[in-house]
Each structure stands twice: as C-alpha cells, then as structure tokens.
A and B are shown apart, each in its own frame.
Chain A
Amino acid sequence: MKKMKRGHEETWDPPPQPQGEGPSMADKKADDNNNMDELLAVLGYKVRSSEMAEVALKLEQLEMVLSNDDVGSTVLNDTVHYNPSDLSTWVETMLSELNNPASSDLDPTGSYVDRSEYDLRAIPGLSAFKTEEEEGVDEESSSKRIRLGSWCESEGESTRSVVLVDSQETGVRLVHALVACAEAIQQEDLNLADALVKRVGTLATSQAGAMGKVATYFAQALARRIYRDYTAETDVSGGLFEEVLQMHFYESCPYLKFAHFTANQAILEAVTTARRVHVIDFGINQGMQWPALMQALALRPGGPPLFRLTGIGPPQTENSDSLQQLGWKLAQFAQNLGVEFEFKGLAAESLSDLEPEMFEIRPESETLVINSVFELHRLLARSGSIEKLLATVKAVKPSIVTVVEQEANHNGIVFLDRFNEALHYYSSLFDSLEDSYSLPSQDRVMSEVYLGRQILNVVAAEGTDRVERHETLSKWKIRMRSAGLDPVHLGSSAFKQASTLLSLFATGDGYRVEENDGCLMLGWQTRPLITTSAWKLAGATESRR
C-alpha cells in the first residue's frame, strides 16, 4: 500500500491542459476522466484518475485501522471480495465491513436496532452506545473502539465510523443467541430455532476459551433436538468409552477425587470398630475409590477388617469380563497391603433391577455400606425406579449410605428452565477446567467430551433416554426422608481433607468447599457443583459399629 501511495503522489497533479485546445483535446480530457491511471494499471490496479484522492484517503484509514488492532483483521477475513483489482470498491468494502461487523447477523432477540446517522447497531443487551460528538478524540476506550480520524471530514460525508470489537460482547451475544434458540424450541418455532442454532455455531467458533466450548456443545445438542436426532448409546462399547472418559475426568479435576475421598471418610467413620465390612458400590467403573479406602482400613488401629466389595456395572458382552478383571486388580492391591479381600461383580441394566438377595449379605457378621457416586439420578427417568431402589436399600439394612450427586436442577418439566440451568452449570464446570494451565491437554479435552455427552443428554434427549436428571440436595433430602433414611453429618475430617485437596490444585482459589447442614458441597467460585451426603436408616442408633 505504501508503494501505491508513492505512485499516487507522483501522478497526483495531472499535467495542466493548455486552454483553447481543439475538440480532439477536449475529447482526450473526457477520455482521461474515464481512463484508469496508467502507472497503477501497470501494477495491476485499476483506479480512476478522478477517484485517486478518495482512494488514497481511504487506504490511509484502512492502514490505520489494521495497524492499530489485529482483531480488525479477523473481522475482515470473512468479507467477500469479487474484484480486488478495483481498488476503490475494494477499499469501500473493507471499510464498510469494519464499520458494520455484524451486518449479516440476525438480531435474535428482536430488540431495537438503532439506525442512526452514526451507522451503528445497538448490541442487544448492552446499554446504548453513546457516541462522542467531538472529533480528534483518538484514545481508545476500554471496549477497544477504533476511531477513524478527523480526516473523514474532508470527504464531505459525515461517516463517523467506529469499530466495536470486544470479546466480552461476543460472549454476551452468544448467550443471548443460545437462550433465544431454546426459547424458539420451547415455542415449537423450529425454523427460527434452526436459523439461530446456525448463528450460534458461527459465533461460538470465534469465541475463545470456556465460553466458546460450552456454546459449541450446547449448539450441537440444540441441533440434535431440533432434528430429533438423539440416539441413546446402548452398546457396550459405548459404556467402555464412557469409562475411559470418566478416567480422564478423574485425572484432570478434583470433582471425582473430592467425591471419593469425602465418601471414604464417611465410611471410615461409620465402620470404626467393625471386623467385617461389606461395601456395595452402585457404579464400580474402574474402582478408583477403593484403593484409598483399603489403605485407610489397613492403617486402622487394631488392624484392617475383612473387606468385601460388591461392584455393580453395566451388562457385559460375552467375551469381556471386565468386572472380574477389576476384581482381580483390586484383590492384588489388597494383598499387597495385607487386607483380606473378597469381590463380587454384579451386572445390571438398571439399578432398580437389583433385589436384596443378589447381594448375599451376612447381616450377623458384617457391617453393610452402600455407596453411590453420580448413579441415583439416572433412575429418575422411569417412574417408580428410584422408589424401588430405595426400598431395596432399606431392606438390606445398611449402616451408612453415601451419596454423591450433581448439585443442579436439570430435571424440571419446562425445557427452557432446564436449558438455562444447564447452561449456567456447565459454564461453571468448563470454566474450572479452563483455568488449569497445568493440565496435559489430552485429559482436558477428554474431560470436555465427557461433559459434552452430559450436555447432549440434558438438552436433546427426552423420556427414558434422558438419564442425566440432576436434582439439588434439597430434593434428594426429601426423597431420602420419604424413603425412611435420615441424614448423617459428615465430620470435620472430611472437610479438612477436601480443603487441602482443593488447595493443591493449581486453580485452588477458584474451588470452594462448603458445609451445608452436614453435607459437603464442592463448587467453583460461588456456584456449588457437586454434593456429598451420608444417610442411615431412620431410627437407627447413632453409635457406629
């Protein structure tokens, strides 16, 4: 462009035409006005001589914009040019794109669009943008406005063009678009929803960080809902993939570790003098919770008890026997520690299929413990399931029942409410993952996929397919109480261990442990995300066997 300018300067002053020329000269003059500038034409650019001044000025503006802010260049990447050698139009297109970056956006919430002379669009949800009247104010405000300087005046037009580029704004727009799409689905306006979800998709790709990722997953889920394309993954390989993802989630953030360690502490406190302990784990997965418990039992004053573990997992395929293999691994670990160990694996399609006889409990000699980490909410998909399971729980007479569940309200009847709740919940979760700079990236990516599957289920599935029916602690309390279970307070030991654990994470400042009426809640910033609680049979004595 500099080269161009120089060329322009050289030929700026057209050679003076002598007066009183014959018609041939007048013709030539007329021709000159239509002809392209010769020197620039040699370089491949077509600029009319008469427009040279204008083009030069606009080029200067463009250069200033692009050199001031590299974000401008990403905005410009999307513009389509048809004839770049036509410099005048090209510069016009570039400048008008910079002035109206959202010119092709739908205005999703239908809020008011300000078509004032200042050529700005009001961004929905933000306070109205007040333009300054005076010119020559060239300092940038906090929202990175780029002011094209006072030389606009010489153009004779009053285009006070301002470029607004602010990543926070795109985040707000993203949220608004998502909510608008959900509203459209709620009102069964699927065409509008379809258009909006595409909008969200493109907005999300330009948004960096946690917000962009969350928005992408939600947009995919919304699209699946619009096209009614949700298929529950019932094949066993899907179950194995789920376990792999959960392992990565275990490695990358403290939620599962918190769940396991606090539940273990509650169990330890309940079985302090028991000689035989039988734990029934409603979701054994890879058994990551139990090595730590076995180690703590081994260190008990008086020596370890006999530790019996019944692990419940998804139905097995014919060739694989992963539950038994898991049992062998745990047995080996127990042997190293010197803890007597027994294992039994139960494969069940749904927890409500379990009957008390399947556990082969020995009530005279053993202390029974039931442990459920993120498993109970799945039963809410079928009516009657949770009641049946809790009746089974009561029938086996456990000394303590430890429950860890997500602290969210994702089981409302109205889709829009569920959607809003889920959006806030998973935004917090992704935020907490995002700040962990110390993570190897594969763990984090897989954790995001793990959460993305939950998002898909909450948003796109319905009926018995929708298993991620998270409920808050208060609702679980009501449920447990009506099933005949009373709360057991978690001790300060669990709280201290949890606090130490969280402070070890690189983003320890963001995580919070709270005690809520005897239950422990782990949250990110101000938002509680998971809750550990413990229960016993109503009327059972408080003394721990």
Chain B
Amino acid sequence: MSEKRINMVEKSNNKRQRVNQVPEFNINDHHDVLVEIFRRLDGPSLCSAACVCRLWSAVARNDSIWEELCFRQVSPRPSLSLRSVVSALGGYRCLYFLCIRPVLARLPKVLWTRDQLQLSLSLYSVHYYERLHVGAWLGDAPPSSLMFLRKPVNVV
C-alpha cells in the first residue's frame, strides 16, 4: 500500500514538474482576447461580466464593445464618422444605456433602420447639450429630457 502511495506521489511530482515547464495560460493576461470575447456578448451578459472583477470591469468599458452592441442589428453598418461624433457626445456605452437600451426595451420589435438610429442620436445630442450647458441654469434639478425613457412603461 505504501509503495503504491509512493508511486502516486512520485507520479504527481513528475507531473507537476512537467506542468511547471509550460507557461500557464491566463485569459486575464490577454486583454485583446477578452475584448473580442466581450464583443460577442449580449447586453445582460456583458453587464454580468463587468461585475466579475476589477480587471474585467475596466476591460468592459472599452467603447468598441458597446459600439458592437449598439449596432449589431443595424445594417448597413454606420460610417466611421459616427464613431467620432458619438465619442464626442459621451461614447457608445452611455449611448447604449441612455438611449438604445430603453428603446429596445420599450419597442422590442422595432426594426433598427436609419430613422431609429437618427432619433436615438438626436435624443443623445440633446442630452449631452443639456448636461453641459442647461443643467445649472434650471436650478438644482438635473436635466431630464431623457427622463421619459428611464421610467418603466405603465403597461396594463
């Protein structure tokens, strides 16, 4: 019995030695791979992933992931100039949370055509403008032009 155990211990020692010779693969060392994986997630999964650890939360802030999420259903893919405009207005992540997710939630069957995109972007620009310039002027209340999107619909 003891021999067998010694054998097993020797074998596992050998194995450990063997394994130590190969560098371990850790996904957290490869942020670009992480980004590629996150790009393929849907909204809720992406949000869960962002809650896993600090590293994943930081990686999930990568705007290209959210750009993918925003325009997954849109074809043809919008032009590159859109990227600079949206970045100027606060980025795709905010666009998704403020405008696109509520629209999708409110109108799940909506076809994402240019018009819906244009509308979302218009609302987003108004929000940005308000946040920067008008908010203080209206007193302490934060700008609320998108408030109508945030509250749930009273569906009877």
Contacts and interface: CB of A to CB of B under 8 A. Distances in A.
Interface of A: 244, 247-248, 250-252, 254, 257, 261, 264, 286, 288, 291-292, 294-296, 298-299, 301, 303, 329, 332-333, 336-338, 436-440, 442-443, 493, 496-497, 500-501, 503-506, 508
A251 B85 contact: no
Contact of B144 (A251, A333, A336): A251
A497 B114 CA distance: 9
A487 to B, nearest CB: 22
A440 B79 CA distance: 37
24 contacts: A247-B138, A251-B143, A286-B134, A291-B129, A292-B121, A292-B125, A295-B121, A295-B124, A299-B81, A333-B133, A337-B89, A436-B148, A437-B151, A438-B147, A438-B154, A440-B141, A440-B147, A443-B147, A493-B114, A493-B118, A497-B115, A500-B115, A504-B107, A506-B151
B103 interface: yes
A438 B152 CA distance: 7
Contacts of B82: 299
Interface in B135-153: 138, 141, 143-145, 147-153
A257 to B, nearest CB: 8
A254 B146 CA distance: 11
| Contact residues of B: prevailing secondary structure | helix
Interface in B39-95: 78-79, 81-82, 84-85, 88-89
A59 B114 CA distance: 71
B135 to A, nearest CB: 11
A424 B152 CA distance: 30
A298 B81 contact: yes
Nearest to B155: A506
A257 B119 CA distance: 11
Interface of B: 78-79, 81-82, 84-85, 88-89, 102-103, 106-107, 110, 113-116, 118-119, 121-126, 128-130, 132-134, 138, 141, 143-145, 147-154
Given A500-B115, A506-B148, A264 B79 contact: no
Contacts of B145: 250-251, 257
A286 B145 CA distance: 14
B88 A291 contact: no
Given A288-B126, A497-B119, A500-B115, 6 more contacts: A291-B128, A298-B81, A329-B133, A437-B154, A440-B147, A504-B107
B147 A292 contact: no
B106 to A, nearest CB: 6
B107 A439 contact: no
A436 B129 CA distance: 24
Given A247-B134, A496-B113, A504 B88 contact: no
A496 B115 contact: yes
B148 A294 contact: no
Nearest to B90: A336
A292 B122 contact: yes
A506 B154 contact: yes
A332 B133 CA distance: 10
A292 B123 CA distance: 7
Contact of B116 (A336, A338, A500): A500
Contacts of B78: 299
A483 to B, nearest CB: 31
A247 B153 CA distance: 23
A251, A261, A301, A493, most chain B CB atoms within 10 A: A251
B107 A500 contact: yes
A299 B118 CA distance: 10
Contacts of A286: 134
B114, B143, B147, most chain A CB atoms within 10 A: B147
B27 to A, nearest CB: 36
B121, B144, B152, most chain A CB atoms within 10 A: B144
A248 B130 CA distance: 12
A75 B121 CA distance: 53
Contacts of B89: 295, 336-337
Nearest to B149: A504
A294 B133 CA distance: 16
A506 B153 contact: yes
A286 B126 CA distance: 11
Contact of A292 (B102, B126, B153): B126
A503 B110 CA distance: 11
Nearest to B141: A442
Contacts of A336: 88-89
Contact of B125 (A247, A250, A291, A500): A291
B116 A251 contact: no
A261 B119 CA distance: 8
B125 A303 contact: no
Given A298-B81, A500-B110, A333 B126 contact: no
Contacts of B114: 493
Contacts of A508: 153
A294 B125 contact: yes
Contacts of A252: 148
Contacts of B132: 329, 332-333
A296 B149 contact: no
B107 A503 contact: yes
A292 to B, nearest CB: 4
A264 B122 contact: yes
A303 B121 CA distance: 17
A201 B148 CA distance: 33
A291 B134 CA distance: 12
